[in-house]
Structure 1
Amino acid sequence: MILEELLTKISDAQVLWVSPQRQMTAGALRQEIAVCKGLLRAKETSRVALESSDSIRALMWMIALDGIAESVFLVPDSLRSSDYYCDLKTRFQPTLIIDDVFTGKDPEKSGDLPGGDRAVASTRWVLATSGTTGTPKLIEHSTESLTKTCKLDTHRGREFTWGLVYDPFRFAGLQVVLQALASGSKLVLCNQIGNVKDQAAFLRENDANALSATPTYWRKLLMSGVLGNQRFRQITLGGEPADQSILNALKAAFPEARIAHIYASTEAGVGFSVTDGLMGFPKQYLERGIAGNQLQISESGTLLIKPEQHVPSAAGASLANSDGFIDSGDLVAVRDERVLFLGRDSGAINVGGNKVVPEEVEAVIREVEGVAEVLVKPKGSGVMGQLVTADIQPRKADADMDSLKKQIMAHCRERLEKYKVPALIRFVAEIEHNPTGKISRT
């Protein structure tokens, strides 16, 4: 019951969670957890699917189930409404489903039956991968592996108010939740607010000074203009390659903040963070490892990581090769003593037999001053197989599009091989992002 024990260091009166609908103190949370445990007494809790769409309710249940359920499938909102969920739930085979209407009542039975009040050695938490490049996988983590990088200093933790823009049951969101809980920090849940501008306003209203988000989300946040002179103490980027332009923009906007871009995945867990203000990571990490993890580059150019702790799939199979390394699927390249993330291997565009990574081209196009956001994608070609195209969101709606297009093409021809230069550019009002905060590539 590691998660509930974290609450013992926090005073009853301290506000822990704030959402647009309500707030919850540590004392109220402890009481609600006790109620949740009482509702489990007559239930079979070996394999629980946690489906509640109310983020605070879902997190309450998560803490209550820790040390009681053997295995818990943490179901994010976006997955529950997807075409994949029915199959994933069948694979998981839950013995109990906790949703928005769950009350613990069982009309066929009466009295207290043994079930939820028994203890297990360690609850296994089942998380789904994002599925942005294929069918999601189910990955198991222990409470210990999920909290291994959490800082436990509650005295310092009270100085931070974390914003949550991720779904709390995605790996990145769960890391924010657990860090805030472990350090006794307030957590501002704005993940269910409909748009970035309103989320930014809610963060500002609640004095959030720490935020973890994708580079795509940070770009949208900066463009919203709502944060103004907000003073962040901690800024974290993850989920996508952080190019130099976004790192520079964040440093300029929030000069007092500690800025870190992290490498983490549902499959491998938290790998490492980089705080030197430069994109990628030092080449030395390949030789000496980092944060207990060993790193290699595969023959196909993807990053291999050997985590400190073994991470199995929910089916029990190992995700690692015979040497213990997990293939991240992230293409990397060594340039000037840095290892740079290029993008996902599975998303590469094949132009006449040449591999083009969309994220690499996007990073180059974002260097053009008038570009706010860009989405590079393939277009079928009878001659080349595929061609590179780019949807561009200009920084100003009234920009001279012909002039901007000429600047973009000239910059691409200067910085990219010929086959990587977009064959077609289209200007759009907005580049959408998906529920995980990444550019939507579907």
Structure 2
Amino acid sequence: MILEELLTKISDEQVLWVSPEEQTSVGDLRHDIVACRNLLRGIDASRVALELADSIGALTWMIALEGIAEVVFLVPDSLRSSDDYSALKARFQPTLSVDESFAEKASEKSSDLPVSPKAVDHTRWVLATSGTTGTPKLIEHSTNSLTKTCKADTSRGREFTWGLVYDPFRFAGLQVVLQALASGSRLVLCNHIGSVKDQAAFLREKNANALSATPTYWRKLLMSGGLGNQSFRQITLGGEPADQSILNALKAAFPSARVAHIYASTEAGVGFSVVDGLVGFPAQYLEQGVAGNQLRISESGTLLIKPEEHAPSAGGASLANPDGFIDSGDLVAVREERVLFLGRDSGAINVGGNKVVPEEVEAVIREVDGVGEVLVKPKGSGVMGQLVTAEIQPRKADTDTAALKKQIMTHCRARLERYKVPALIRFVAEIEHNPTGKISRK
């Protein structure tokens, strides 16, 4: 059982997880794992839907289930309350749902005596994609594939306190959880704290010095002003294309931090990171590979990735083509020896037969001084099929929006093909992000 073995490298007294409601030491966690396994005696736990809203409780059950359940559906809190969940759960067909009422029984039957429920060789983990532009898909991983890039240096890991703003059962959040666990780092969970500014305050209070978040979240964090004199040693971006403006802004705000842009997806698994401060990744990766992965660009312009070992599956079928490559669905383009991420192929806008990737237009608009955040989306047109529109959140509330609109249009006309230039611009007080930390595009 790989996850539980990671605990053997950390002292029982060390505080592992901290949330606004509680904190858990390694010793506490060991005791709670035994209690959870006690409750599983005599129960068919072959296929488990793990539905707990409490993040620390959910992570405890995840470790307890490894080596006992054959398959575990790690259900994000936001997915459980969505319209999609009933259909996804029916497709998964669990033999057991671990929810709040079931988990409460664990403490009632707790015991320090070791128990040995029926064991399995390898537990498989089912994760839901974000469903940013459509219905979520269920992707199956192994523990090895999820922990592939985790660094297990506990002596160095003790120097880091990671913040978690993602749901721990989203792919990006689980990566943070597993990295902290593997390296013996403290993890500060603020994913249930309501506002970005309040999350920043909790991170500051608990001395978090490492944080992984989407570019959208980082922009909101910087605009909130809530970080104050926070000092980061590690800054990670992922989940969306990172444009040069956010990379520059983070380096300026936190000059001593190591800034890494990670490419990873639920479908392809863990990919690779880039730390040179530039958008995209070096074109030489297409020939040489990176971090054990082989990379290609499909005929339709999407990035193909061939994992070194495990290829994730969906519904029991491998996601890889006959050559072992998985289509990420992310559109890319080679420009000046860099491969740049443009956006999701599924989210493209069709303007008179021409494909417009919203993220590409957003990146150009963010180059304009005074722009805080941007959401580009389609508007129906009887002539062109669709038109490009943009919602703009100014950096400052008292911005002269008429002047800013003129600057944006001038800049777009100079940098974009005519069909990509927004036909309509609207200013808004705030652009929302969804529970995965990405701009909400539905």
- So what's the TM-score if we normalise by structure 1? 0.97
Counterpart in the other structure of 2:58? 58
Q: Is the 8 A contact 2:36 2:64 kept in 1?
A: yes
Could you report, residue by residue, the CA deviation over 1:381-415 in whole angstroms, capped at 9, with x for unpaired residues?
A: 11111111100000111111111111000111111
Could you report, residue by residue, the CA deviation over 1:189-213 in whole angstroms, capped at 9, with x for unpaired residues?
A: 0001111011000000000000000
Counterpart in the other structure of 1:327? 327
Cα distance in 1 for partners of 2:312, 2:187 equals 30
Q: Is the 8 A contact 2:374 2:431 kept in 1?
A: yes
SS in 2 for 1:9: coil
CA drift of 1:105 comes to 6.2
Cα distance in 1 for partners of 2:324, 2:198 equals 44
Counterpart in the other structure of 2:198? 198
Deviation beyond 4 Å, 4+ runs, structure 1: 103-106
Counterpart in the other structure of 1:70? 70
Counterpart in the other structure of 2:46? 46
Q: Is the 8 A contact 1:45 1:116 kept in 2?
A: no
Letter in 1 for 2:70: E
Counterpart in the other structure of 1:110? none
Counterpart in the other structure of 2:263? 263
Letter in 1 for 2:340: L
Counterpart in the other structure of 2:119? 119
Q: Is the 8 A contact 1:40 1:104 kept in 2?
A: no
Unaligned residue ranges in structure 1 (runs of 5+): 107-114
SS in 1 for 2:405: helix
SS in 2 for 1:88: helix
CA drift of 1:103 comes to 4.5
Kindly indicate whether residue 148 of structure 2 is the aligned counterpart of residue 153 of structure 1: no
SS in 1 for 2:197: helix
Alignment of 1:337-356 (within 5 A): 337-356=337-356
Cα distance in 1 for partners of 2:411, 2:105 equals 65
SS in 2 for 1:20: coil
Kindly indicate whether residue 407 of structure 2 is the aligned counterpart of residue 410 of structure 1: no
CA, structure 1 residues 299+105, in 2 after alignment: closer, same or farther (shift >3 Å)?
same
Kindly indicate whether residue 419 of structure 2 is the aligned counterpart of residue 419 of structure 1: yes
Q: Is the 8 A contact 1:374 1:393 kept in 2?
A: yes
Letter in 2 for 1:285: Y
Q: Is the 8 A contact 1:44 1:116 kept in 2?
A: no
Could you report, residue by residue, the CA deviation over 1:246-293 in whole angstroms, capped at 9, with x for unpaired residues?
A: 000000000000000011011111111000000000000001111111
CA, structure 1 residues 325+383, in 2 after alignment: closer, same or farther (shift >3 Å)?
same
Could you report, residue by residue, the CA deviation over 1:128-183 in whole angstroms, capped at 9, with x for unpaired residues?
A: 11111222111111111111110001110000000000000000000000000010
Letter in 1 for 2:204: R
CA, structure 1 residues 36+394, in 2 after alignment: closer, same or farther (shift >3 Å)?
same
- So what's the TM-score if we normalise by structure 2? 0.97
Cα distance in 2 for partners of 1:48, 1:149 equals 26
Q: Is the 8 A contact 2:283 2:334 kept in 1?
A: yes
Cα distance in 1 for partners of 2:356, 2:60 equals 45
Counterpart in the other structure of 2:437? 437
CA RMSD across the alignment: 1.2
Cα distance in 1 for partners of 2:219, 2:116 equals 45
Letter in 1 for 2:288: R
Counterpart in the other structure of 1:393? 393
Counterpart in the other structure of 2:383? 383
Alignment of 1:21-420 (within 5 A): 21-103=21-103, 117-420=117-420
Cα distance in 1 for partners of 2:103, 2:191 equals 25
Cα distance in 1 for partners of 2:126, 2:344 equals 23
Letter in 2 for 1:357: V
Cα distance in 2 for partners of 1:84, 1:376 equals 25
How many residues align structurally? Answer: 434
SS in 2 for 1:223: helix
State the identity as a percent. Answer: 83
Q: Is the 8 A contact 1:330 1:344 kept in 2?
A: yes
